[in-house]
Chains A and B, each alone.
Chain A
Amino acid sequence: MREALLQAVNITKIFEGKTRVEALRSIDLAINQGEYVAILGPSGCGKTTLLRIFAGLTKPTTGKCTFLGEEINKPNRQRALVFQDPRLFPWLTVRGNIELAIKKQAFIEANERIVELCKKMQLSEFMYSYPHELSGGMAKRVALARALAGDPKLLLLDEPLAHLDKNIQLSLLNELHRLWKDGLTSVLVTHDVDEALMLATRIIILSARPAQIIANQQISLPFPRDPLDGEFVQLKEKIMKINSGVGEPE
Chain B
Amino acid sequence: MRSLKVLKGAVFPIFILIIWLLSSRHSTNNLIPAPNEVINAISNLWARGEIQKHVSISLIRVLKGFGWAAIIGVPLGLCFGVFTKFRLWLMPTLHFLRQIPPIAWIPLFLIWFGIGEGSKSAVIFYAAFFPVLLNSLLGIEQIPRRFWEVGKVLEFDYLKFLWRLVLPASLPSIMAGLRLGMSMSWRALVAAEMIAATSGLGYLIMSARSLVRMDEMVVGILLIGLIGILIDAFFIWLERFLAPWNKETLGVGENERSIASSG
Which residues of A are in contact with B by a Cβ distance under 8 Å?
Answer: 15, 17, 21, 23, 41-49, 52, 55, 57-58, 74-77, 80-81, 83-85, 87, 89-92, 100-101, 130-132, 146, 150, 191
Contact between A80 and B260, CB atoms less than 8 A apart: no
Residue B3 at the A interface, CB < 8 A?
no
Contact between B259 and A132, CB atoms less than 8 A apart: no
Please give, as numbers and ranges, the residues of chain B lying within 8 Å of A132 by CB-CB distance. Answer: 245, 248-249
Return the chain A residue nearest B157 by Cβ: A104
> Known contacts A75-B152, A81-B153: does B260 contact A89 (CB below 8 Å)?
no
Q: How many pairs of residues, A versus B, come closer than 8 Å at their CB atoms? A: 81
Contact between B259 and A75, CB atoms less than 8 A apart: no
A27 to B141: give the CA distance in the assembly, Å. 35
Other A-B pairs beyond A90-B249, A146-B154, 10, CB < 8 Å: A15-B259, A41-B263, A42-B263, A44-B263, A45-B263, A77-B154, A85-B146, A90-B250, A91-B171, A100-B160
Contact between A57 and B154, CB atoms less than 8 A apart: no
Which residues of B are in contact with A by a Cβ distance under 8 Å?
Answer: 146-147, 149-150, 152-156, 160, 164-165, 168-169, 171, 243, 245, 248-250, 259-263
A161 to B250: give the CA distance in the assembly, Å. 22
| B146, B248, B250, B262: the one within 8 Å of A44 (CB) | B262
Q: List 18 A-B contacts (CB under 8 A).
A: A43-B263, A48-B262, A52-B259, A58-B259, A75-B154, A77-B153, A77-B154, A83-B146, A83-B149, A83-B150, A89-B168, A91-B171, A100-B150, A100-B154, A100-B156, A100-B160, A130-B245, A132-B245
Please give, as numbers and ranges, the residues of chain A lying within 8 Å of B168 by CB-CB distance. Answer: 89, 91-92
Please give, as numbers and ranges, the residues of chain A lying within 8 Å of B146 by CB-CB distance. Answer: 83, 85, 87
Return the chain A residue nearest B156 by Cβ: A100
| B153, B171, B248: the one within 8 Å of A55 (CB) | B153
**In angstroms, how far is the closest chain A Cβ from the Cβ of B22?**
50
A84 to B257: give the CA distance in the assembly, Å. 12
Contact between B245 and A90, CB atoms less than 8 A apart: yes
Please give, as numbers and ranges, the residues of chain A lying within 8 Å of B164 by CB-CB distance. Answer: 89, 92, 100
**In angstroms, how far is the closest chain B Cβ from the Cβ of A190?**
11
Please give, as numbers and ranges, the residues of chain B lying within 8 Å of A84 by CB-CB distance. Answer: 262
| B152, B160, B249, B260: the one within 8 Å of A131 (CB) | B249
| A48, A89, A130: the one within 8 Å of B150 (CB) | A89
Contact between B263 and A48, CB atoms less than 8 A apart: yes
A72 to B262: give the CA distance in the assembly, Å. 21
Q: In this complex, which of B164, B171, B263 has the most chain A Cβ atoms within 10 angstroms of its Cβ?
A: B263
Contact between A49 and B150, CB atoms less than 8 A apart: no
Please give, as numbers and ranges, the residues of chain A lying within 8 Å of B160 by CB-CB distance. Answer: 100
